[in-house]
Amino acid sequence: MATAAPYQAPPSRPLGVAILAVLIGIFGFLLILGGALVIAGAAALAYLSVPSAFAGIGGVTFGAIILIVGLILLGLALGLWHQRMWALVLTVLFLIFVVISDGIAGVFSLGFFFALLLLIYLVAIRRHFR
């Protein structure tokens, strides 16, 4: 007779990770919406033959890049929400990039200290990710 595996409760989601995932998800959704609007606007300008540097393929390409970044951020938010290690690694790498680039540029703003605080927090709670 086979015995059932003991029940293991899913790891608890730290409140900071939940807040971060929701905020990144909202930002990703807004970028997707904005990218779609930019694509539509550039296509409409080209269709109406309005002379503009934004009309046509340049504007559509810019909108597509915004849309793709939004999709990536939405995926990252879902990964953080589900506590995936790859999402933690990508977020930590991004925060390291922000801290180093702001440090080199000498920009010690609120954003720099917020990124540094998030970096320390995510490294401290890394055991919650799988």
Q: Give the separation between CA 47 and CA 31, rounded to whole angstroms.
A: 24
* Higher local confidence (pLDDT), 7 or 103: 103
Question: Which residues, 6 or more positions from 5, have their beta carbon under 8 angstroms from its beta carbon?
Answer: none
Q: Give the separation between CA 116 and CA 113, rounded to whole angstroms.
A: 5
Instruction: Tell me 106's DSSP state.
Output: T
pLDDT at residue 9, as a whole number: 62
Residue with tokens 């970096």: 119
Question: Which residues, 6 or more positions from 45, have their beta carbon under 8 angstroms from its beta carbon?
Answer: 52, 54, 55, 56, 59
Output the average pLDDT for the chain: 90
pLDDT at residue 26, as a whole number: 96
Question: Could you read off the pLDDT of 22-78 as tens digits, one per residue?
Answer: 999 999 999 999 999 999 999 998 889 888 877 888 899 999 999 999 999 999 999
- Asked if pLDDT for residue 99 goes beyond 60, the answer is yes
pLDDT at residue 13, as a whole number: 87
pLDDT at residue 53, as a whole number: 79
pLDDT at residue 85, as a whole number: 95
Q: Give the separation between CA 60 and CA 70, rounded to whole angstroms.
A: 15
What count of Cα atoms within 13 Å lies in the side-chain half-sphere of residue 120?
A: 5
pLDDT at residue 52, as a whole number: 80
